[in-house]
Amino acid sequence: QVRLVESGGGLVQPGGSLRLSCAASGSIRSINRMDWYRQAPGKERELVASITNGGGTDYADSVKGRFTVSRDNAERTVYLQMNSLKPEDTAVYYCNADVYSITFQRLNVWGQGTLVTVSS
């Protein structure tokens, strides 16, 4: 079994910063791409940022220049540094990972989500 656990969400004022973490655990052989998604109330879930196991990154246009995704392969953890936060960044943020288990199963795993609220 493979789990992803996010942390770091909370309430922040506009212009502030937060750092989200997502730690993978379980019967993991390797982790390929790791993504951050978000879902705002009444909206569809959207891809925010991606990082490959080689460190290549990609971002949604709405967060380019403000968010930075990184990962620690040894710790099986992905981070999302969010700066210059705006009210429209308010959402539940989810971690997603493309994982190979120790039994060579390819799994797509989601975390439980962490709420980010940007408000004064």
Confidence band of 9 (pLDDT split at 50, 70, 90) = very high
Task: Quick: pLDDT tens for 22-61.
Answer: 999 999 999 999 999 999 999 999 999 999 999 999 999 9
| Mean pLDDT of the chain, nearest integer | 97
The predicted pLDDT at position 120 comes to 95
**CB-hemisphere CA count at 13 Å for 76?**
18
The one-letter amino acid code at 13 reads Q
The predicted pLDDT at position 104 comes to 93
The predicted pLDDT at position 86 comes to 98
